[in-house]
Structure 1
Amino acid sequence: MKSEPSPSSSRSGRPEQAQGREIVGSASAAVRGGGLPGRRGGERRSVSSGFVDARSLSPDQSVSGRIGADGGTGVFVRPKVIDFQARVREKKRVGLRAVIVRVSLVALAVILVSSLVWLLFLSPVLRLDPAQISVRGGNAWVSDEKVLSIARKEQGKSLLLVSTSRIESAVGGLAGVTRAEVRKSFPHGLEVTFKAEEPTAILKDSKKKLTAVDGDARVLNVVDGPVEGIPVIDVDQVDSGLSGKAVRQALKILRSMPEDMRRSVTKVAADTQDSVRTDLEGGKQVIIWGDGSQLQLKQAVVDKIIHDPKVIGDKHQVDVSAPTRPIIK
């Protein structure tokens, strides 16, 4: 009795197992032989799945070349091998470069700041030139040259270091100066403007020496003779007179007078601080002020009395020691 052929047999009469071994063997042979015909660069793929053999790829191939080089889907294959020692050296180079850049920036900033400081404060670019210092406001009692000598003490400095307030304070401290203003004129100049007043009085000592003083009892200078419009105060000595309260009260009263009245004063007597007296127009009118208190009220009372003929009449002496109760003689 003949046996039936096995259902697993192929039409060629060979078993499927043997036939499968032949297919796999031929695929392996194809891989070992360099791949199937028609593939680029020796690329090897499995017959059944199209898998790319990573051993056949160049490590320098781009990502796009590694994924679906033949138009298929492909897979991401072995990346380029990294040399970790080279990577460490590269990181060191990057760190060193960053340090060098930072140090360079700091050094550049220091150089720029130092150059700017030298340019503004030490170089001749903004240095005060004494020939470009202008002074205005002097008179016979306070000369421009005296003020100029104060401003010239700042010569050679940068205008940025010149203190205008210091110069104004020094000029304002001069006897006879009531106001001082200093302005910088870049790049090398300075403008000084001040107001000088005439002496408040002239002190005449026992030796007939005449010394001009201001309202703050500061000496201006020595004069050769009486000056028209400036009252004279008799004292034993200039120094002792200026330190005494009687002369200081007299100067305070004279300074508070209107200029036209002060110019009409021909004589001042100050035996004590409470008995200051002024003679107007050679003694035609005599004002007894007492001390230097309530000067505004005293000035108003005196002005009303001496300028009203109905009040002064034929009298020539007005006592305003007590301004609310003036005495007319």
Structure 2
Amino acid sequence: MGRSRPAPAPAEAPSPADSAPQEGGGRVVQAAGRFRELVAGRPWRRRRRAILTTAAATVLVLLAAVAAAIFLPALQVQQVGVSGLGYVEEDEVLAAVEPHRGDSVLLLPTSDIAADVAAVPGVREAEVERSWPDGVRVSVTEATPVGMLTRTDGSTAVVDAQGQQLPEAAAEGAELVPMTVDAGAADPEGAAVAMSEVLASMPEDLRGSVRSVTASSASDVRFSLALEDGGTRTVVWGDAADSELKAEVVQALLAEPGTEIDVSSPVAPVTR
């Protein structure tokens, strides 16, 4: 005889709480219990809300602290220190910084202040640093005077390597080469700048022998060179380009006869 199969377990009848008779003979299943877990708040959602609330509160506290520090009198600029000055007047540098006195050290525009100080005549560049809690330090590098320029109208000025006019005090103790713009020069400003650039780019040993410089344009710079025997030689330099090569050629041709050396084209120099 074969084994008899076990009878299937009877289906669990829905409890009265989960079903109810429906008109027409059917039943409606009550799903409230099944979805109660889905709609209930999860613990991680509550934690996220707490984290966001704490973060927002922290940001507000930090913003309030920064705002309070900005307006704190103890952090407002009161002290200004200046270093690196020689012939430039300290009062002129302080005047450039004065508009920022009383500003918060936290928000101090150091680059803007440095630009304002660099615009003072005689200042080549400037560095500005905060000095906590209520100060600022300004370090100045002055422009180096290279010549005494005589303009076509007869006025004179101490100038730097870029042809910029410097305070008269810059001439004190400096060895300045006389620079003259030729009368009737078509470009007197260009001539003045070119003479300054030529002097600044010239090797120091050659510049020490220059007695005077003249020009009628930016490409027509000439100077008088003192010789060891007491004589002089005129050098036609041209523009400020190739200064190192031109200086080497001049030194090589000083022993050649003549009164003029033309190195405006250094690869094809001429002696006269």
TM range, smaller chain: 0.5 to 0.7
CA distance, structure 1, for counterparts of residue 169 and residue 186 of structure 2 = 17
SS in 2 for 1:252: helix
Structure-2 change in CA distance of 1:302 and 1:226 (3 Å): farther
Q: Radius of gyration: which is bigger?
A: 1
**Paired position in structure 1 for 2:245:** 297
Deviates more, 1:172-181 or 1:118-127: 172-181
The range that moved more, 196-205 or 258-267, is 258-267
> Structure 1's 285 and 189: CA in aligned 2 closer, same or farther, altered over 3 A?
farther
Q: Alpha-carbon deviations, 1:17-54, whole Å to 9, x = none?
A: xxxxxxxxxxxxxxxxxxxxxxxxxxxxxxxxxxxxxx
1:148 paired to 2:94: yes
Alignment of 1:80-95 (within 5 A): none
CA contact (8 A) 1:204 1:211 kept: yes
8 Å CA contact 2:234–2:261 kept in 1: the answer is yes
Report 1:1-329 matches (<5 A): 112-113=61-62, 115-129=64-78, 132-140=79-87, 142-205=88-151, 208-222=154-168, 229-235=175-181, 244-281=189-226, 284-306=232-254, 312=255, 317-329=260-272
User: Does the 8 Å CA contact 2:260/2:271 hold for their aligned counterparts?
Assistant: yes
Q: Is the 8 A contact 1:298 1:323 kept in 2?
A: yes
> Alpha-carbon deviations, 1:73-113, whole Å to 9, x = none?
xxxxxxxxxxxxxxxxxxxxxxxxxxxx9xx9799668734
TM-score (normalised: structure 1): 0.55
Who is 1:53 aligned against?
Answer: none
% same residue: 29
Q: Distance in 1 between matches of 2:240 and 2:264?
A: 9
Asked whether the equivalents of residues 159 and 188 of structure 1 are also in contact (C-alpha less than 8 Å), the reply is: yes
CA spacing shift, 1:300–1:260, aligned 2, 3 Å: closer
Give, in angstroms, the shift of residue 157 of structure 1. Answer: 0.5
1:296 Cα offset (Å): 3.1
1:223/1:174 Cα in 2 relative to 1: closer, same or farther (>3 Å)? Answer: closer
* SS in structure 1 of the partner of residue 222 of structure 2: strand
Higher relative contact order (CA 8 A, sep 6+): 2
1:169 is paired with a residue whose SS is helix
Structure with bigger strand share is 2
Q: Structure 1's 280 and 149: CA in aligned 2 closer, same or farther, altered over 3 A?
A: farther
RMSD of aligned Cα (Å): 3.5
In the alignment, structure 2 segments of 5+ residues that lack a partner are: 1-49
Query: Does the 8 Å contact 2:80/2:94 carry over to 1?
Result: yes
**Deviation of 1:125 (Å):** 2.2
1:225–1:139 distance in 2 versus 1, CA, 3 Å: closer
Which structure: greater helix fraction? 1
In 1, Cα distance between the equivalents of 2:146 and 2:187?
13
Scaled by the length of structure 2, the TM-score of the pair is: 0.65
